[in-house]
Amino acid sequence: MSQQLPESIPADLFAARADAIAEAARELALAGWTPATSSNFSMRIDAAHAAITISGRDKGKLGRDDIMLVDMQGQAVGTSARPSAETELHTQVYRRFPAAAAVLHTHSRTQSVASRLFAREGAIRLQGWELQKAIAGHSTHESVLEIPVFPNTQHMPELVARVDAWLDSGKPLAAYLIDGHGIYTWGRDMAEARRHLEALEFLLGCELDLRRLHA
């Protein structure tokens, strides 16, 4: 796969982002959160571009050649490779959150089960958990962290519209689930995105355990 970069993007910058994505993907694959080539990961390059995983690649074996450049409309730039089908959900985050520099989407068992369990309610309200403080903007366990659960669809503009509607209504958004699918979260850098993902995986697991114990 040949990646031709625009003159405005230094090759070493793209390589650094690609390496960071590949490293995170390998670690998340080892955790079992990216089964059967699922999941997708990206990082912002500049105001107009992002680096993202190529569709269908084994996330546990990614290298630089498995990462491609897209514009903020989700279109491939300088390559014939095909980006993830969900690229529009990544670029939406970068458009709506100028400080966001990394987006992570995984399909862990915990995330997938929670998305089905809470789909009818439309959201998971997390409150009282100490680890909520791992999410940017939350400084106390007494705050409410609401994670919406959007209906699944193969039509990405529909999902994009649902996320836009949530944000346009003035509701804060740190992450979201897709019914029967997985989770999306992001951060100001890869480290923060990873922290958010790991914290949410733990919190969702705790909520599932409570449901089991109360059954």
Domains of the chain: 11-214 (3.40.225.10)
CA-CA distances (angstroms) from residue 67 to 8, 17, 21, 47, 88?
Answer: 18, 9, 8, 18, 16
pLDDT at position 85 is 85
Both tokens of 95, joined, read 């458009």
Both tokens of 63, joined, read 């290298």
| Distance of alpha carbon 194 from alpha carbon 104, whole angstroms | 8
- Residue linked to tokens 């990206």: 42
Rg (C-alpha) for the chain, rounded Å, is 17
Question: For 175-210, how does the pLDDT look when each residue is reduced to its tens digit (9 = 90+)?
Answer: 999 999 999 999 999 999 999 999 999 999 999 999
- φ/ψ of 213, rounded to 5, equals -65, -30
pLDDT at position 136 is 94
The model's pTM: 0.95
Q: Are 88 and 160 in contact (CB under 8 A)?
A: yes
Residue 169, C-beta contacts closer than 8 angstroms, at least 6 positions apart: none
Question: For 10-57, how does the pLDDT look when each residue is reduced to its tens digit (9 = 90+)?
Answer: 999 999 999 999 999 999 999 999 999 999 999 999 999 999 999 999
